[in-house]
Structures are given as structure tokens and as C-alpha cells.
Amino acid sequence: MENDCLFCKIVAGDIPATVVRETETTLAFRDINPKAPVHVLVIPKEHYVDVATLAQADPALGGELLETVAAVAESEGVLLDGFRLIFNTGEYGGQEVFHAHAHLLGGAPIGPMVAG
Ligand code: 5GP
Ligand code: ZN
């Protein structure tokens, strides 16, 4: 647990979240400000600042994260029509919460890959 990390606090249960799936090593919960009908954040319970750091430190955990993404995509009913997975990373990637997380977006066409 990293002090003052919002998502570590959600993992610890100190901040409430609408959890849709939990495994031993990962947690999936609804984004507080959804950008699509389905907008779920999937995180490793362990603190890594971003997806690159996670993948380099523990690639198996990165794979478990993707397993949870697939399970959530299935349970949210977006596997057939498709979905978008986004890992905002660092300043240029627009990352705001520095605990690695995947945005799973679906339930409607998500639109152009990037704005502009
Ligand atoms: P980032 O810009 O870092 O990729 O995305 C951070 C995401 O976390 C944003 O989509 C934002 O809406 C979401 N978020 C911020 N604070 C909270 C919170 O307290 N609870 C939940 N469930 N999501 C949050
Ligand atoms: Zn954290």
C-alpha cells in the first residue's frame, strides 16, 4: 500500500467503490465518471505507478490483469460487440491516478481512437 494513493485506498476498502470483480491479485470497479455505458477500471492490488512499471516488474501479474479484463468484458456483455482497453501512461498519456489501471470501455461505439 502506497500512502496517499487513491486506488490503494480502494483496494484497502478505505474508499468505497462499485466492485464488479475481485481476484487474489486484481480488482475491477466502475469508474466514478464513466465515459461510456460500460466503464470499468481494472487494477493490480499491488501498487505500480503505471502499466510499463507493472509489466517490467511482474509480467505474470500483467497477464492476470488482462485475464480480469476478459472476465469483466464477458460479465458486462461487451465481448461480442467489442470494447476498448486504454492504459493512460505518464504525463503525455494523460494519466491522473498513478496506480496502474486499465480502462475498459464499451456498451456503445467508443469513437475515434484519439481526439483531434
Ligand atoms: P487516468 O486519467 O489516470 O487514466 O484515469 C483515472 C480515472 O479514475 C478517471 O477516469 C477517473 O474518473 C477515475 N477516478 C478518479 N477518482 C475516482 C474514485 O474515487 N473512484 C472511482 N471509482 N474512480 C475514480
Ligand atoms: Zn496505489
Low-confidence ranges of the chain (pLDDT < 50): none
Spatial CA neighbour of 30 closest among 22, 16, 20, 15 = 20
Residue 115 pLDDT: 81
Residue 55 pLDDT: 98
Best mutation site among 50, 86, 97, 103 for ligand 1, i.e. most ligand atoms within 8 A of its Cβ?
97
Instruction: Give the architecture (CATH level 2) of 6-106.
Output: 2-Layer Sandwich (3.30)
Q: Is 88 in the pocket of ligand 1 (CB under 6 A)?
A: yes
Q: Is 17 in the pocket of ligand 1 (CB under 6 A)?
A: yes
Q: In terms of C-beta density within 10 A (0-12 exposed, 13-18 middle, 19 or more buried), how is residue 40 classed?
A: buried
Q: Is 13 in the pocket of ligand 1 (CB under 6 A)?
A: no
Over its C-alpha atoms, the chain yields an Rg (Å, rounded) of: 14
Residue 1 pLDDT: 75
Cβ-contact 61, 44 below 8 angstroms: yes
Domain ranges of the chain: 6-106
**What is the spatial distance between Cα 15 and Cα 13, in angstroms, rounded to a whole number?**
5
Residue 76 pLDDT: 98
Q: Point out the residues that are catalytic.
A: 101
Residues 23-51 have pLDDT tens digits of 999 999 999 999 999 999 999 999 999 99
